[in-house]
Every structure is written in C-alpha cells, then in structure tokens.
Amino acid sequence: MQRSHFNGTLSLAELGQTVTLKGWVAKYRNLGSLLFIDLRDSSGIVQLTIDHPENFPDVRNEYVIEVEGKVAKKDVPNPRLKTGEIEILVSKMNVINKAELTPFIIADQSDALEDTRLQYRYLDLRRPCLLHNLRIRAQICSIFRSYFDAHHFLEVETPILNLSSPEGARDYLVPSRVHPGSFYALPQSPQLWKQLLMVGGVERYYQVAKCFRDEDLRADRQPEFTQLDLECSFLSQDEILTLMEGFLKRLFKEIRGVDIVTPLRRIKYWDALDTYGSDKPDTRYDLKIRDVTALLKKSSFPGFGEADMVKGIVVPGVAAQTSRKVLDELTLEAKKWRLKAYYCLKCEGGALTGPFAKFVDEALAKELIAELSLQEGDVFFFSSSDNRRIIDFGMGGLRTYYAKKLNLVPENTFDLLWVIDFPMFTPVEGENRVVAEHHPFTRPRDEDLPLLDTKPEEVLAYAYDIVINGYEAGGGTLRIYDHDIQWKIFRMLGLSEEEVAQKFGWFVDAFRYGTPPHGGLAFGLDRLAMILAGTENIRDVTAFPKNLQASDPTSKAPQPVDPKQLEDLFIEVKSE
C-alpha cells in the first residue's frame, strides 16, 4: 500500500476520506467483536477501530503494520491525543513485520533504568517524548542557519583532525599510521580555525560543529557535543550581543511561543558571584547573598580569621525544620565547596537562636535582625573564607540547595541574561601563577591593558556568557588580534617561546598579515535543546548518548581492538 498521510496529521478535516497509514502498534485492546489499535509513527498516534477482528491478522505491541480505512468522528473524543476527535475504520490490514516482547514499555512514562533504555536506544527513541526532543533539536539548527544566513554569515566546516593544544580539558587523541608516534587531536572547539577564517577575510562564519572533551561527565555534559559556533569581524561586543539576542528571541518564539524581552539584562561577573554565588546565576528566585563581614566579626566567635569574608543567605520560614541533624548534613555540603561549615541564626520570638547565637550579644542580634530584615521563622545561613570565589560559590551552592528543597523555582519560565566582564586570569591557589579564565586568545579590555604588568588579577576581559535558567547555554569573547599582545599573554601564562612555537606558532604567525578585530560565541546545541525541551538531562536530547562512564550502552564502545590494528599504528597497550 502507498502511504497517504502521517498518523499525527489527521483531523476532522479528513472526515470521510479513505486513508492508508503505516506504523507501529503502540497499544491494542481486543474486545472480541471489536479491536482497537493505537498506531504510532514519527508524527504521532491515531486510533484504529477494527470490526470483526477474526477476519484480520493477529497483532501484538510493536508489530509494524499498514492499514487502509475511512476517517470517522469519534463518539467520545480523547483530549490527550492530537488526533483524539477521529478514528480510522479499518477495511484492510497487513503485517509488515513482527516484533518480540520489548524489554520495556514504549511510552512517555517509563520505569526502566536509564542504562537499559540506552542499551536499547533504538526502542527508546520510539517514545513520543524523545522524538519530540529530537524535533526541537533539529528546529534549533534550522532556525540557526536561517537567521545567520540572513545576516550574511557563511557556513564553513573546520577540520576534525587537529593539532593537540591546551584548551582546559583533556584531548581525545587519534594516532597517525602515516606518521608513527604522532597524534591528531579531536577538536575541543573550532576556536583557532574560526579565528584564522577571520584572518582569511571570511568576516562572518558559522558552523554546527562537533566537539570532543575527555572530561568527567554529569547530567548536562557529554564527551562529544555540538556547538552552534560563530565568529565575525569588525563588530563590537555590544553589536555581537545584540545580534545573538535576535537569534534567541526568534528561537524562543518559534519553538516555545515565548516572547523574550530584549535587550537582555547584563550582569558583571563579580556582581553575579557576590549576589548569586554563581557565574551562571538563576535569578528566577531570590535568596540573594548578603555580606555581613563587618557585623559578624563583632561576634565572639573565634573561628573567623582576619582576612575572612562572612557571607550568607536568608531562607524564609525554615527555622522549625533546621535541626542539629540538618546542620550536620549542610556541613558535609559545605566541605564540597571547600568551606569549613555552614552556620545558622534562627529568628524566633523576636530574638536570634541556634547554636551560633551564643556568640552574638543582644545589641548585635538587633543589628543583624534589622540589617537582614529577618522575620519570624527565617534562618540566616552563613559561612566564611579568605577566598572571594570560594565563599561566593559556597553560598551559591547553598542557595541552589534551598531553591530546590523549597520548590522556589517557578515552572515554565525562562530567565535569560548575559554575564559580562569576566576576569582575564584566575590565580592558581598556592602557586605564583595565573591561568586563563576563558582561553589564551581572549582580549583584555582596552582600559585594563596597563594593569597587565602591575595587577593582572584585576584585568577584565571582553568576555560574555549567555545564561538561561541557571545554565551556561553559550559563551564567547572578543579575540586578541594584536601579535604583540598575544605573545605577552602567552608569556604571562608561563608558556615559553618554544612551547608557543610548537603549539600555536602556525596560528599566531597569521597575526602578522593584517588581522581584523574579531570575536565570536558558541551556543551549546545540546543544552539549548535540553532547556527548550524542558528536561534536566542532556541525554534526553541526544540520539545516541554516552552514559556517565563515557560508554555507549548500545554499541558497547569503547572496546579493545584487534592487535593487528594496533600494530599498524605502532601502538602497544600496557596492562594496568
């Protein structure tokens, strides 16, 4: 039979028409004289009604079938189905292929373990929710290409086999058979190539780029991932951000029907850390960090050092639930953030109570209640450190903990903002050196260039991240285009001339031939799809993802290879 329609596209508009459909049996109910089948294809589900099923072939779940029948109006519509107002009165049915009993139920709601679903991912993908996620992912790419094509960007592919270079994570290496003992590296990003495209006069480039990083995994990270990668010449930071906001506005409108108000808010890096305890702040809820260093250093607590900063958050209405056991649990959380402990002061009966209250006299208690606007039942959680980043990130972790615990995050809302003015360098604790906050090609702000020689830790960069609902959904920088400044940054990062020549010589040499000012950004396609699909797991929007052990449960990769392959590559594998 020749298919006439996709199942999910049928409606009352086709009433009375004879249609030919194909798909999988999602569910069947045999009532003896009547057989009802939910027929699923990639577009959705439609109900088939078969009179006198004894005259038709037997079917089971996941059988592949084709049917011919007339579109009829249902007596009782099913509001849960897009096609719920109609049914197909089947006159012909063929079984194209049979199916064994599947290892789990093919439905949106599944109690199967994730590794089981990943092992049989080809079955998991039949679940409508996963097909929906893949459509969102494809739609993002379509809008991306359409939008930037209209803004005169050119799609250019960059190499997958690269030279290994330090970019913050471990490279995946590919041995060369032609050059024994030498290796290519899979790209962590197309960073150097897209900058060379700017030197080459392309001016505006984009790419849906595969990237690879050998790093520890989590729910929003994969070893191979996809960037919506961009680079452009002759645009300022403001012009780049405005251009990107236009893309995001169109993306959210077309995929979620949400009108994003632009221009987006811009929060400076240190303001984000000091207020929200994160460089990717979720501002859909309050719990802002309060600096009480001056006040709590007036307490009699002996644990605050001279250089310590004391910061905390006010959590409303949790005094009754904040027991010694809760504080012990929070102290374990604090140690994850390299803090000694989280302390607390409860507001009860107009006074401050709790284990720490013995260090606070009556006058100081009144000052704290007034300064923090504490109400009955509120708890002020706080900690201390002599490191600004550690105390801020530590309080940010506590802020996120209570936001989830108290369900403070509103559902179906989108919070978009830019974080700008990142530090150029991050000091290495305990060592007299710095590393690049982003990458060594990030351009320092013009007004901070004099500080490179005197106070490098105070130098800010033309760097920006797009943050959506507390996720870093993309980030970029303006790039260094001056040959001398690039060499200076390399030297500040401790790279010798020999190291620079070996790892980046081919790149920085290009700067001597008329390099335009340029900058760019890369959106994380996987994270954008995750956010727009409303899931918190990046594996839900990836067709064939790796698990948390960086393995592919479907193909069982990675696996040992034939010794002859290793011999051809001049590689010997040593046992542990």
pLDDT of residue 168: 65
| pLDDT per residue rounded down to tens, the chain (576 residues) | 899 999 999 999 999 999 999 999 999 999 989 999 999 999 999 999 999 999 999 999 999 999 999 999 999 999 989 999 999 999 999 999 999 999 999 999 888 999 999 999 999 999 999 999 999 999 999 999 999 999 999 999 999 999 887 666 789 999 999 999 999 999 999 999 999 999 999 999 999 999 999 987 776 788 999 999 999 999 999 999 999 999 999 999 999 999 999 999 999 999 999 999 999 999 999 999 999 999 999 999 999 999 999 999 999 999 999 999 999 999 999 999 999 999 999 999 999 999 999 999 999 999 999 999 999 999 999 999 999 999 999 999 999 999 999 999 998 899 999 999 999 998 887 888 888 888 889 999 999 999 999 999 899 999 999 999 999 999 999 999 998 899 899 999 888 888 888 888 888 889 889 999 999 999 999 999 999 999 999 999 999 999 988 899 999 999 999 999 999 999 989 877
Q: What is the pTM of this model?
A: 0.92
pLDDT of residue 365: 96
Which residues have a Cβ under 8 Å from the Cβ of 430 and sit 6 or more positions away? none
Residues 307 and 399 in one domain: yes
Flag whether 274 is in a domain. no
CATH number at residue 296: 3.30.1360.30
pLDDT of residue 575: 78
- Domain end point (choices 362, 380, 405): 405
Flag whether 552 is in a domain. no
487-495: long-range contacts (C-beta < 8 A, 24 or more apart)? Answer: 488/452, 489/436, 489/440, 489/444, 490/440, 492/425, 492/434, 492/452, 492/456, 493/433, 493/434, 493/435, 493/436, 493/440, 494/433, 495/440
Which is nearest to 278 in space by CA: 291, 269, 265, 287? Answer: 269
Strand intervals (E) in 32-185: 34-41, 44-51, 64-73, 86-97, 154-155, 173-175, 183-185
Structural domain count, the chain: 3
Residues 206 and 229 in one domain: yes
Residues 222 and 289 in one domain: no
Contact (CB, 8 A) for 228 and 545:
no
pLDDT of residue 165: 74
- Domain end point (choices 373, 405, 437): 405
Residues 38 and 71 in one domain: yes
Residues across the chain: 576
Taking the C-alpha atoms of 209, 212, 216 and 222 in order, what is their torsion angle to the nearest 10 degrees?
40
State which residues form the domain around 75: 7-97
Residues 80 and 162 in one domain: no
Residues 357 and 480 in one domain: no
- Grouping H, G, I as helix, E, B as strand and the rest as coil, residue 182 is coil
